[in-house]
Structure formats: structure tokens, C-alpha cells
Structure 1
Amino acid sequence: MTRLRPLLLLLALLLAAASPAERLPRLGEGRVAAVIDGDTVELEDGRLVRLAGIEAAKPPPGRETERRWPLAEAATAALKGLAAGRGVRLHGPDGTLPDRYGRLPAQAVGADGRWWQGELLAAGHARVRTLPDGRELAAEMLALEAAARDRGLGLWRTRAYAVRPADPQRLRRDIDSFQIVEGRVLRAEKRGGTVYLDFGEDWRSDVTARIGRDALRAFAKSGLDPLGLPAETIRVRGWIGEHYGPTIEVTHPEQIERLGQRPPAPAGESAGKDDE
């Protein structure tokens, strides 16, 4: 990993500067009137824009008003530095519509050419969180995230956002939250149109990633066969639910990163310095 660090850093800088978002169709433009949080802005014409493909540092669900969350404040401040009062060009797939909260999901490029998602990921203010209908630039964003994580920047300094081992006891503390989980797939089985990736010997209590019928069509198009993953170590990112043991619903291939046939890192290695 030591040899990879300079390469990851160089790749991160190149991606952030190259504005790959501009390869996507233009959805419009505007000027930022307000920064709502680390991944949402309001334009002068009243439109709300959600930075697509990322999740900025935020308090865990249910703890929004419990106490200050400095990492969330830092993410908001970083976006203000990029966006406040400035022009922005919005990019994404043709036909992109606002989400259920009225926010337009888009890749954002400032008037100065800086790609806002890339800047936030490279500084460790956000994690990659793609959606089934919003997977553009996943590879570029994952590379930026990896470089920031390797350098321990921003949220990657802390246990609150550390990559979780596929340990059912530890993951039960993360039910109803978005996490990145790493482990070795012991078994992959298709039942009733759904593929189950099991990270333990007992599917009734261990960690499972579940890939439904619609998602499997996307996997087939991507060339990734989830039934071929046993014995591989993978990272899977998503919302932690509970069905017998902790379960992640996988809706698109970009949620899975293949790390090869090697044992996962010991649990202690993914822990950061503190809870936040």
C-alpha cells in the first residue's frame, strides 16, 4: 500500500481537476444562493441541488440535534468555500428529475472548473453513495475516496466512518445506517430470483448482502457475476438492515468493490482515532 499512496494521490488530484462531470449532458446552470449542508445547495432561482453520487459527513440518524457534529460542519464549510455565491454548471443523464424531496441530483462543476464532488471526496468530506438510477462517474469517485481514506483525511480519521468488518455483532450497532462493509464471501446462492452473498457460516445470524432480480439484470450488463464471488474479499456499501442477521440490499453493481482473494483486514485496523 505504501507504493500505491503516491499513485492514488496523483490520480485523485487529476480526477478532481479534470472535471469528468463535463462528459455528461448539461442539465442547466445557476448561481448558488445558499449551502444547506455538505452535499446540498439552493440556487438563486429556488432550485435545490443534491450533489449526486456522494454522502457528505452528517450526524447518524436520530442524533441530528443531540450535539455538534464537527465533521458535518467541516463538510458544509468546504462546500461553502467551493459554492457560496458562485455559478455552477449541472451535469447528469438526460431526463434527470428531482427526487422525492424536490432536489435535483446532479454532478456539479463550478464556474472555475472545479468538480465539487471530486473536491469533497479528495478532502475526505464525503463518501461515495451511488443509486440505481445515479451511478455515473462511480469509478472516478471511488478512486478519489480511496485516496482520501488511504491518507486518513477528514472523516476517514474516525471510527464513526471507518470501513466495517463483516462481523454481525459489530454491525448490529449500525442497523439503519449507511456503511461500507468489508469481508470474505463464503457462499453465494441464488434462491427465488435473488442472490445471497453470505459472509459467515450461518446465514440465519451472519452478515448477508442480498441482490434482487432487478439488480441482477444490471449485474449481467456490467459483467460482474455475483455467484462467482465466493472466496473473494469484497467491500459492499449500503444501508444496514436486519433480516435474520445484518443485511445490505444491493441494488446495483457499483455497490461492490472486489479486493481479491485475501483475508479481510483485522477489525482493529479499520478503527479510527475516535467516534467522530
Structure 2
Amino acid sequence: MVNTIFPRPDFLRNTSLVHLATLAALSSVSTAVLACPDLAMVPGGVVVQVSDGDTIVLDDGRVVRMIGTQAPKLPLGREGFPTWPLGPEAKTALEAMLLNKSVQLGFGGERVDRYGRQLAHVFVEGPDGPLWAQHAMVAQGLARVYSFPDNRECLDLLFAAEGRARLSGLGIWHDPYYSVRAAAAPDQLLGRAGHYELVEGRIVLAEQRSGRIYLNFGRFWKEDFTAVIEAPAIKMFAASGVDPLVLEGALVRVRGWVDDRDGPRIEITHPEQLEVLTIR
């Protein structure tokens, strides 16, 4: 099995590199229709401000967080917050795409976050028809896939676009700041605590204890990298027909925020955080 992304049951499939490239090469409107048939589409209004590569402001004052993606971050008034590499470039690209243009919003999950921002997919009329902004940013290597357990629509084709951009070394994928990290280098991962990372490695041991599933990437669980699947996420995996316990020995890619609890670890809150690259 190669490059399997663990999405919801209707999207579960084996995804080869050729399939990734084919999906990513489709037009943005086509991919939107294929990936997001259940989006609730509503008029958005005119974009009057682009805050960064994944956040816009509409003419009625609503702030829209472009769900499903994470662009390089900017300080935006936060004292001591560093500008991530390619942050200004991502903002400039999104401005060229959306600023002073009328957009439509597509909702596929939770609609508003705790900050009052709209959580939506954004579509704008382009020279060749409707353009899906998230897909375009990911395809250029100016954003990466960033998902939530309560907002899981449209991810399949965003993963495909990201895979092609990463293989081609586009945008952020050419910068070491965004490199895929090695699970076998826990000391280096500890240095990335507090950062959102993609981590690849082979699962040495998969076990369930105290209502959690632990995917251990080394023999010393208090020192080596671990991915932890909490009880609510275990239910999501089960609903997808996937048992993470069978992945012992598999080469996988995990994405999420790195913390330091008995060594570096990432908490998995939903299946899309885990991609299976090979099972031996």
C-alpha cells in the first residue's frame, strides 16, 4: 500500500504518486466540484484586506480564515512573533488572487472559530473560471494542508496538490524551515517543540493503553518520537474503517504540533493527520 491518506470513508483510497499528480493537475474548479460536493456555498462579498496567506477581510467586516490550509505566518502586531520564511510572499500571492475581488464562501464543517472568524473555502472568478483559493495556494507551495477534526471537507485534493508541490520543491518546500522531519531524530524534533511539523518514520510499536493509541517510532518511548491518538480520534478512525494498531512496521507521515511530553510527540485528533507511505 503506497501513499494512503486516512480520510473519511467516502474518500478512502490508495493514492499513488501518479494519482497525486493527476489530481493536482486538474483545474481548480474541477477539483472543487470533485472534492467538495457537499459544501454549502454562500456569497461572500468583496475582499478588502489580505492579512496573510490564509486570512482575508470582507467588505462587511467579516474575517475569513481559509480553512484546510496554513500559510507561512506573519507577526500581525504580535510582539516578538517571528516572520516565517515566505510569509510576505504568501500574502502578496493571495492579494494578487483575491484583493478587491468578489468571492464566494464554501462551508463544510464548523463555520466560526473562537475568534469569530469565518471558517470557509474561498472561490473567486478567474480568467479560466472559478478559482479555489486554497488549492491554488497549496499548489504553488505557499501553504500546506492544515486540518481540524470538525472541518474535514476538501482535504483529499489539497493533499494531492501539496504532494506535487513538495515533490517539485516549490515555495516553502524549498526552504529547510518547512522540511519534513525524521522521526528517527528525536533530539532535533525536540528543538521544534511548539511548531507545526510533518514527521516521517517507521512505526516500531503500536499499542493501546488507557484509552489511547500510542504509535512509537523508537524503542525508548520516553525519549523517542511518539504519535498519540486520543479516544475521540480513535472513534473517527473506526468510523473510517481504519485500525491504527495494524500499522506497526509501516512507514508513515504524521503532521501536527510538536510538544515535549516524555520525548517529542504529536497528538493526532483526526485521521487526516496520518498518511501511510508504505506497509511492509
Fold conserved (TM > 0.5)? Answer: yes
Q: CA 1:198 to 1:16, structure 2 compared with 1: closer, same or farther past 3 Å?
A: same
Matched, 1:178 2:201: no
Residue 20 of structure 1 corresponds to: 32
Return the offset for 1:192. Answer: 1.0
The 2-side partners of 1:261 and 1:6 are apart by: 19
Matched, 1:53 2:68: yes
Residue 152 of structure 1 corresponds to: 169
Q: CA 1:26 to 1:221, structure 2 compared with 1: closer, same or farther past 3 Å?
A: same
Matched, 1:110 2:124: yes
Equivalent residues, number: 257
Residue 232 of structure 2 corresponds to: 214
Q: CA 1:47 to 1:5, structure 2 compared with 1: closer, same or farther past 3 Å?
A: same
Q: CA RMSD in A?
A: 2.2
Partners of 2:140 and 2:165 within 8 A in 1: yes
Task: State the Cα deviation string for residues 220-260 of structure 1 (Å, max 9, x = none).
Answer: 01112110110000001000011111010000000000001
The 1-side partners of 2:84 and 2:180 are apart by: 19
Return the offset for 1:111. Answer: 2.6
Task: State the Cα deviation string for residues 100-159 of structure 1 (Å, max 9, x = none).
Answer: 111111111113300000000000000101001011111111000000000000000011
Matched, 1:135 2:149: no
Residue 225 of structure 1 corresponds to: 243
Q: Which consecutive residues of structure 1, in runs of 5 or more, have no partner in the other structure?
A: 263-276
TM-score by length of 1: 0.87
Task: Give the secondary structure class of the aligned counterpart of 2:163.
Answer: helix
The 2-side partners of 1:213 and 1:202 are apart by: 23
TM-score by length of 2: 0.86
Task: State the Cα deviation string for residues 68-109 of structure 1 (Å, max 9, x = none).
Answer: 655001100110011000011101226x33111111111111
Partners of 2:44 and 2:102 within 8 A in 1: yes
Task: State the Cα deviation string for residues 21-76 of structure 1 (Å, max 9, x = none).
Answer: 6621114421101101100000000000000000001269xx97576655001100
Percent sequence identity over aligned pairs = 41
Residue 46 of structure 2 corresponds to: 31
